[in-house]
Structures are given as structure tokens and as C-alpha cells.
Chains A and B, each alone.
Chain A
Amino acid sequence: GQQVMQIPQYQHVQEGEDFTTYCNSSTTLSNIQWYKQRPGGHPVFLIQLVKSGEVKKQKRLTFQFGEAKKNSSLHITATQTTDVGTYFCADSNTGNQFYFGTGTSLTVIP
């Protein structure tokens, strides 16, 4: 399977600070999806990016897909305690084989 790396592995931020996680692949990604997994929960779909250079926003969350379609980022502005969890990117190379990144665990300190 493909290997999609995410950095950082862990991130602790003070509430109100911004947070960014990066997803990198050595090969071109067909599309990129982002999921959030709350502690003790299961991954929940956030968004999908398909086009080179695409940028999408969901309230305080901004998602970007690199021009070369080899990397993506998720940026959270002014974090809140409800943002706590692990954020995964996932690539669907062909058909329905979804390969997940290593994940970034976010802790928000009140």
C-alpha cells in the first residue's frame, strides 16, 4: 500500500492558537480526504480535495491541496477544546482503496 506521512505526530497548543498539520506523499495523490477522530471515537469524514491547488474552508478549518498533488495541509484558526482529536489524511489511489496517513494528534490546553 501507499505510504502517506503526516507531520507533526503530536501537537499541543494553547486554546486560541492556530494549528496546522501536513500530509506528504512521494507519489502523486489522486485525491485527498481528511478525517477527524475524537479520543475514544472513530474517524469521521471532514472534506475531500480533488483539484491541484484546491483550497476549501469549513468555518475555522482551511484545507489545501498542493499544486503537484503530492501534499496537503489542514489549518485550524483559533483552536477550541472541541478541536481535540487525531486528524488523518487519506488517499484513494484507485477505486476504493483508501490509505490513511500516520495522523496528527492535537491537544488543546484550556
Chain B
Amino acid sequence: ETGVTQTPRHLVMGMTNKKSLKCEQHLGHNAMYWYKQSAKKPLELMFVYNFKEQTENNSVPSRFSPECPNSSHLFLHLHTLQPEDSALYLCASSQGQWGEKLFFGSGTQLSVL
């Protein structure tokens, strides 16, 4: 266990559905991240939160909506996704200082039908 828990592990949704991915970290970290991992592409940084404030939105479509209510919890709300959004979504956390390493959760494998 890395101290970063993601739920659900697997998710299948239709293009008109609304769903949410949840991430919780038990490491006392201040920064949390969402990454997307597709088969053909490298890990793509989507969002960064530092002390609950969003510090990075890497040109992510608005059908992905992040929420960070506190430093321990991070959500990714999904709405009207496309089949090309099918991927492994990884949450990570770090201390929030420069050069700190990332601790990843096990990911949510998302399939959009």
C-alpha cells in the first residue's frame, strides 16, 4: 500500500453518464494530482492541487471537473465523456515542495462505451 487509495478500481460508463472518481491520501501530503495514462501515450498531467488550490490545469476538456475539498481528498467528476477518454486515471500525492517524489494510487481503469 502506498497510502494513496483510489475508488473505484474499475468503471464502465456510457457517454451520457455522470460519475466521479475518488482519491484519498493518508500521508499528510499537501499536493495532489490527477494523471491520465492511455495505451499509446505517456502519463499526462491533468490537474495539480497544492494546499487545496488548483495550480495546474493542463488544457483538460471541461467534461473533466476536479474537486479538492481538503488536502487529503481529491475527486474527478466525469460528464459526457467520449470513448477516447477510456484510460487508467491515476491519482498521486506529494509533500508539495520542489523536488518531492510522487506517491501513486492504484488507479481507476475507465471504459467509456
Give residues in A with beta carbon < 8 Å to B.
Answer: 1, 30-31, 33, 35, 41-45, 48, 50, 88, 90, 92, 94-103
Contacts and interface: CB of A to CB of B under 8 A. Distances in A.
Contacts of B50: 95-96
B103 A45 contact: yes
Contacts of B66: none
Contact of A92 (B35, B55, B99, B105): B99
Interface of B: 2, 31, 33, 35, 42-43, 45, 48, 50, 55-56, 58, 90, 94, 96-107
B104 A43 contact: yes
B43 A100 contact: yes
B90 to A, nearest CB: 6
Contact of A43 (B31, B43, B45, B58): B43
A68 B73 CA distance: 39
A97 B56 contact: yes
A103 B40 CA distance: 11
Given A1-B58, A95-B55, 10 more contacts: A1-B45, A31-B99, A42-B106, A43-B43, A48-B101, A88-B43, A96-B31, A96-B55, A97-B45, A102-B42
Nearest to B55: A95
B101 A45 contact: yes
B47 to A, nearest CB: 11
A98 B46 CA distance: 10
Contacts of B31: 96
A30 B97 CA distance: 14
Contact of B42 (A31, A94, A97, A101): A101
B94 A96 contact: yes
A35 B106 CA distance: 14
A33 B104 CA distance: 14
Nearest to A102: B42
A35 B56 CA distance: 22
A96 B90 CA distance: 16
A37 B101 CA distance: 15
